[in-house]
């Protein structure tokens, strides 16, 4: 055998990571007292425990305290007690604590990595080189935010006690993503890890003791569904942060509806991995390995849908199969292992079931010829070809080492296939033409897009999704906002609308029909039901009638808004010009609108004129900000820049209040339009004629057809229709508490972003009721990673 033959015949021998320190830690720990509450270790009050096992062997690792509702009460009480002192501490004091946590984790990072691999099953190379260093990075990075809080987030403060629920696929990293920004913001925490993977959170709690975290600031409660439900429903918690499945995310959204709790959800994904014909195929294959077989595919942003251009499909698939045949499946503690076991037998059975169903639906599933270990929850890497867009493997999140492949002919088809999913977490674009890549990235409905790379993360760069992948961001400046609150100028409690009960003195028979129509798709149209609503003046006389909008009218308005491509595709400067023009035209009819305000609301002529002038001023404000509220460029510690782009939410439904009916409507519609959203507005139910009077102003202000649609009628009824409509991307509701709560609860169909006043109005004339706080709700932040260098 010559040297070349010997080279090709070489095999990597086993290179196991020592686990003696981890085993010693396990043996020394009393896991029956694993609840970390108020700085003390406690047993579950009900005495229950649950088992955590090693995925590579199925062997029992520990029996861990299983918290119940009483334990959650105790943890929330501890967090509440610690909150005043922690939130009042200087940014420097909080920064020192965060830095101390990071440094203590650095000193124990090998133990963290081995424990994570033993408990989760992920290869030690991933725990050691990715998860633990990035978790440390989050604490040290957020130490800086703690000290810069007053300067960078003026007028904001921590939201309060935060309930956090994390999954089993990245136990330590998800803990860091949640706890670090919360502590930096001055919040206190009650965190529940997943039952499958409690160990590194227990070690982290020990780190908190050593790092001088004040008692009660961090509380970590191990437990199952009962503990999770108790956290979500606890009245003493002001914010819920959840990472997990979309199905559970919807349950949490519904459970928190009407509670006033702040909510962020980082949920499932079905990410597209798009390879164009000019891509470096060898690099793309290596990226694909990281994209789908990282952590055995148990990654919410896994590149589980390979979209490859037809001309290179055969060549790329051949390379993928060759690379798959060389992936090493085995002990996760072996440094040469590429694929370890799935986390549990239930997960293994689920993956097998989805692969079998995908095969039944016409996919051709291929696996390399490799032996699996005799024990543990292992699944071979799987490549599914011949996958139709409707196949279960193309639509459902498998959460395993399974890659579904489809082909496309041109750029437009690639984008259409990529967006053919209810999820929107991440995507990868592979092309040697950066112009093409940056043309495609903004058109993908995904919160993160990697160009010629995949699964890149950093504490300075936001991460989170669109659509049913959730809302909110983790990491970066936008991630800090999730744990902060600004005091909005609250107005009075909004009472349920009573227009139907209003006595209206009818006009005499000689009066002509004064029924104002709806405004849909740039045209005045009659309501589908041909019913109308009588509107009274302040003196109880008939001022006119408006169309009584229905579900069908909302459907038509949403369709028109979705089809109004010209507005979101316009430059920010062009949108600015149009809004200035709208303000100019409203100004020309200021006297008419002031008179209408006085007639309808009974406001004095002076007060009415002030509201009109404030409305014009607000339009000017958002016209000026349309091309100034921009994204950022981040420089993570990698050879890449991250473009944090502001993108419109999409179709935004707006239910405007009765208070300050003209100013309130414009204060909501203007920022949505300024950021490129299209709008379906339901104006004040009591004073809708102010909105219908705007039709002519809109028509001659160069606003494209469909950019703004107005449907008059019953606010509560129409809010519900907008909430249930799956083609509405965002919903802003300022109505009575019951209407707001129902809108939040009924939004779960597509997990649209809902902003409600929780039954309170705002002081629309105040400076706080305008500006960045409204613009932030009108945008999604998409982080596009662009590598550079050879």
What is the C-alpha separation between 72 and 167, in angstroms, rounded?
Answer: 18
**Rounded CA separation 254/742 (Å):** 9
- Please state the pTM of the whole predicted model: 0.94
> According to the model, what pLDDT value does residue 499 have?
53
Q: Which of 266, 397, 545, 744 is catalytic?
A: 266
pLDDT in tens, 87-111: 999 999 999 999 999 999 999 999 9
**Which of 300, 301, 461, 740 is labelled catalytic?**
300
pLDDT band at 6 (very low <50, low <70, confident <90, very high): confident
* Residue 365 annotated among the catalytic residues of the structure: no
Name the E strands within 414-487.
Answer: 426-430, 448-451, 470-471, 484-486
Query: Quick one: which of 381, 655, 680, 635 has its CA closest to 520?
Result: 680
What confidence category does residue 506 fall into, taking pLDDT thresholds of 50, 70 and 90? low
Segment (H or E) for 443 = none
pLDDT digits (tens, 9 = 90+) for 375-406: 999 999 999 999 999 999 999 999 999 999 99
610 counts as catalytic = no
Look up tokens 């100004």; give the residue.
Answer: 587
| d(C-alpha 471, C-alpha 460), whole Å | 18
pLDDT above 80 (res 414): yes
E strand or H helix at 53, and its extent? strand 49-53
pLDDT of residue 705: 96
Using alpha carbons, select from 424, 396, 419 the residue that is nearest to residue 307.
419
Percent of the chain with pLDDT over 70: 98
Phi, psi for residue 275 in degrees, rounded to 5: -115, 115
Please write the tens of the pLDDT for every residue from 145-163. 999 999 999 999 999 999 9
Cβ atoms of 287 and 453 closer than 8 Å: yes
Instruction: Kindly state the DSSP code that residue 130 receives in the 8-state scheme.
Output: I
Which residue reads 């609150």 in tokens? 485
How much is the mean pLDDT over the chain?
Answer: 94
Task: Supply the pLDDT for residue 277.
Answer: 97
What mean pLDDT do residues 130-156 have?
96
pLDDT value, residue 510: 46
- Asked if the model's pLDDT at residue 501 lies above 80, the reply is no
Residue pLDDT, tens place only, 596-606: 999 999 999 99
Q: Residue for token digits 């033959």?
A: 5
pLDDT beyond 70 at 518: yes
List, for residues 448-460, the tens digit of each pLDDT value. 999 999 999 999 9
Residue 775 pLDDT class (50, 70, 90 cuts): very high
Q: What is the pLDDT of residue 426?
A: 97
pLDDT band at 668 (very low <50, low <70, confident <90, very high): very high
Q: What is the DSSP letter of 469?
A: G
- Give 790: exposed, middle or buried? Use CB within 10 Å, 0-12, 13-18, 19+: exposed
Strands 49-53 and 60-65: antiparallel
Report the half-sphere exposure of 758 (CA within 13 A, side-chain side): 9
* % of the chain with per-residue pLDDT over 90: 91
Gyration radius of the chain over CA positions: 28
pLDDT at 180 over 80: yes
pLDDT band at residue 502 using 50, 70 and 90 as cut-offs:
low
Confidence label for 720 from pLDDT (cuts 50, 70 and 90): very high
| Average pLDDT over every residue of 319-345 | 96
Q: What is the mean pLDDT of residues 262-274?
A: 96
**Helix (H/G/I), strand (E/B), else coil: 113:** helix
Residue 626, pLDDT > 90, answer: yes
Hey, what are 564's tokens?
A: 């109004």
**Across residues 42-47, what is the average pLDDT?**
96
Residue (of 197, 144, 206, 143) closest to 172 by Cα position: 197
Q: How wide is the angle at C-alpha 342 spanned by C-alphas 338 and 348, nearest 5°?
A: 130
Q: 112 to each of 8, 27, 199, 458, 563, how far by Cα in Å?
A: 36, 16, 9, 19, 51
Please count the other Cβ atoms lying within 10 Å of the Cβ belonging to residue 191.
Answer: 26
- Does 132 have pLDDT greater than 90? yes
Number of Cβ within a 10 Å radius of residue 235: 9
């Amino acid at each position: 055998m010559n040297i070349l033959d010997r080279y090709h015949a070489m095999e990597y021998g086993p290179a196991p990571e020592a686990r003696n320190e981890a085993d010693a830690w396990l043996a020394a720990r009393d896991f029956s007292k694993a609840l970390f509450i108020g700085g003390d270790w406690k047993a579950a009050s009900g005495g229950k425990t649950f088992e955590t096992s090693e995925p590579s062997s199925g062997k029992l690792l520990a029996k861990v305290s299983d918290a119940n509702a009483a334990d959650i009460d105790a943890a929330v009480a501890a967090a509440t007690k610690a909150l005043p002192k922690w939130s009042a501490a200087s940014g420097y004091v909080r920064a020192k604590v965060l830095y101390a946590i990071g440094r203590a984790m650095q000193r124990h990072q090998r133990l963290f990595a081995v424990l994570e691999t033993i408990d989760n099953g992920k290869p030690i190379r991933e725990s050691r080189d990715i998860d633990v260093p990035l978790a440390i990075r989050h604490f040290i990075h957020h130490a800086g935010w703690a000290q810069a809080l007053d300067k960078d987030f003026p007028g904001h403060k921590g939201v309060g006690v935060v309930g956090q629920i994390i999954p089993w696929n990245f136990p330590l990293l998800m803990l860091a993503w949640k706890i670090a920004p919360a502590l930096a913001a001055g919040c206190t925490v009650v965190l529940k890890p997943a039952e499958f993977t409690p160990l590194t959170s227990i070690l982290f709690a020990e780190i908190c003791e050593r790092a001088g975290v004040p008692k009660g600031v961090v509380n970590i409660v191990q437990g199952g569904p009962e503990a999770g439900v108790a956290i979500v429903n606890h009245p003493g918690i002001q914010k819920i942060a959840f990472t997990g499945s979309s199905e559970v995310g919807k349950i949490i959204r519904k459970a928190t509806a009407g509670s006033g709790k702040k909510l962020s959800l980082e949920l499932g994904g079905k990410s597209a991995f798009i390879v164009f014909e000019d891509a470096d195929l060898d690099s793309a294959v290596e990226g694909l390995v990281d994209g789908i077989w990282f952590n055995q595919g148990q990654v919410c942003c896994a590149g589980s849908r390979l979209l490859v251009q037809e001309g290179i499909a055969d060549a790329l698939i051949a390379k993928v199969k060759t690379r798959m045949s060389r992936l090493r499946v085995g002990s996760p503690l072996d440094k040469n292992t590429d694929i370890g076991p799935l986390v549990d037998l239930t997960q293994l059975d689920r993956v097998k079931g989805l692969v079998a169903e995908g095969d039944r639906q016409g996919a051709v599933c291929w696996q390399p010829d490799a032996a699996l270990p005799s024990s543990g929850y292992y699944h071979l890497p799987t490549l599914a070809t011949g996958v139709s867009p409707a196949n279960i493997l193309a639509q459902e999140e498998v959460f395993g080492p399974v890659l579904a492949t489809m082909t496309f002919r041109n750029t437009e088809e690639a984008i259409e296939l990529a967006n053919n999913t209810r999820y929107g977490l991440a995507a990868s674009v592979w092309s040697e033409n950066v112009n093409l890549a940056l043309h495609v990235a903004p058109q993908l409905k995904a919160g993160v897009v990697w160009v010629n790379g995949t699964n890149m993360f950093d504490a300075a760069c936001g991460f989170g999704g669109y659509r049913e992948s959730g809302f909110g961001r983790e990491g970066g400046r936008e991630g800090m906002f999730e744990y902060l609150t600004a005091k909005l100028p609250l107005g009075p409690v909004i009472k349920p609308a009573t227009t139907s009960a209003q006595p209206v003195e009818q006009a005499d028979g000689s009066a002509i029909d004064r029924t104002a129509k709806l405004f849909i798709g740039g045209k005045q149209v009659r309501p589908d039901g041909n019913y109308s609503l009588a509107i009274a003046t302040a003196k109880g006389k008939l001022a006119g009638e408006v169309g009584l909008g229905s579900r069908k009218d909302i459907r038509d308005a949403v369709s028109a808004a979705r089809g109004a491509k010209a507005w979101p595709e316009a430059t920010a400067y062009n949108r600015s010009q149009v809004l200035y023009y709208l303000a100019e035209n409203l100004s020309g009819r200021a006297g008419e609108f002031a008179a209408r305000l006085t007639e309808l609301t009974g406001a004095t002529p002076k007060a009415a004129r002030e509201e009109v002038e404030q409305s014009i001023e607000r339009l000017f404000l958002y016209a000026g900000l349309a091309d100034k509220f921009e994204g950022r460029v981040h420089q993570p510690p990698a050879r890449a820049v991250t473009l944090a782009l502001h993108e419109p939410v999409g179709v935004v439904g707006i239910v405007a209040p009765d208070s300050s009916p003209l100013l309130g409507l414009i204060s909501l519609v203007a920022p949505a339009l300024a950021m490129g959203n299209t709008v379906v507005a339901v104006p004040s139910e009591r004073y809708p004629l102010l909105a219908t009077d705007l039709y002519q102003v809109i028509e001659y202000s160069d606003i494209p057809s469909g950019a703004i649609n107005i449907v008059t009628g019953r606010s509560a009824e129409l809010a519900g229709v907008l909430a249930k409509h799956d083609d509405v991307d965002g919903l802003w509701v300022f109505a009575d508490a019951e209407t707001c709560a129902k809108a939040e609860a009924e939004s779960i169909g597509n997990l649209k972003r809902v902003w409600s006043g929780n039954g309170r109005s705002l002081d629309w004339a105040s400076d706080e009721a305008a500006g960045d706080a409204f613009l932030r709700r009108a945008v999604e932040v998409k982080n596009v990673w662009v590598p550079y260098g050879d």
